[in-house]
Amino acid sequence: MRIDELLNAGFTRSFEYFPPKNDDEAEVLARTLEDLEPLHPSFVSVTYRGGRESRQRTYDLVAAIERRGHVSAMAHLICVGHRREEMRDILHAYREAGVSNVMALGGDIPDDPALVASDFAHAIDLVELAREVGGFSIGVAAHPLGHPRSTDLGTDRRFLAEKLSLADFAVTQFFFLADEWSRLVEQLADLGVERPVLPGIMPVTSLSSLARMSQMGAPVPESLAASLEAASERGGPSAVRDAGIDAAVTLCEELMELGAPGLHFYTLNRSSATREIHQRLFAKGS
């Protein structure tokens, strides 16, 4: 199904994967897909790092998921390094494979100058092309704390509102405080945009991930970091993992109370943390 239709029908639960780069990663992903399939997600999404090889891996995985027929899949697309006609061909290929959901992203600037050239300046240009090709439910990215390359939060929100005036929904970067999502939704409403904004959830399951998450534009709040460090002192890595999952469950519960249209889990191609959070949130109602 199209994701806009799923959102119109009610609350969604979705998982995000990245395409494997080698046989070992492929085996891990295969186990994860098998482990999470019984949770009956509304849809799954597959990321795209950029470059022809990664693009093909994303296409292969999304097409394979669609062929299985158990769940709808969304393909990530990025602007960087693509010409307009090339992207048009990619969109037609997805449509021919039965894929009706795409995520239009700007993409990170690659280190290789040869990959920078593009006919697209911003993600909204890709949204417009997907609309022109037709037949897609289109998602875009949202950043509760603002995109790292945004000059200020007001500008970030205006650009996001412009994208959402053409797209069907947004999925946020991961974050850790429910009011960061609610403020984002309120600011978009003030700009006349009320498209669904799916909160992205990524539990912090190790102390080593704190710095990495900050580098990705979503710093862990001091209160959560202190809680994880205290857990480490009490019980080591396993206690940190338990505390991180507790915090993620609490965040999800708060978001649902605030009326979030769904929850989008960043799995990192691993099933255990996502499965535990999902079990605690939905086991009684599933």
Hey, which residues does 12 pair with through a beta bridge?
262
CA 36 vs. chain centroid, Å, equals 16
List the beta bridge partners of residue 93.
none
Helix count (H) and strand count (E) of the chain?
10, 8
Contacts of residue 20, defined as CB under 8 A and 6 or more positions apart, other chains included, come to 26, 28, 29, 57, 61, 269
CB burial string 257-286: b at 16+ within 10 A, e below: eeebbbbbbbbbbbbebbbbbbeebeeeee
With contact defined as beta carbons under 8 Å apart, do 91 and 133 qualify? Answer: yes
Residue 79, Cβ density class (10 Å: 0-12 exposed, 13-18 middle, ≥19 buried): buried
Q: Where are the alpha helices (H) located in the chain, listed in sequence order? A: 3-9, 23-36, 52-68, 84-96, 123-133, 153-164, 178-190, 209-215, 222-257, 272-282
CA dist 20 and 57 (Å) reads 7
Of 5, 16, 53, 180, the catalytic one is 16
Taking the C-alpha atoms of residue 110 and residue 53, their distance in angstroms, rounded to an integer, is: 14
Active-site residue flag, 16: yes
> Which residue type does 105 have?
L
User: Strand 43-46 relative to strand 72-78: parallel, antiparallel, unpaired?
Assistant: parallel
Closest CA relative to residue 44, chosen from 233, 147, 158, 171 = 171
Cite the active site residues.
16
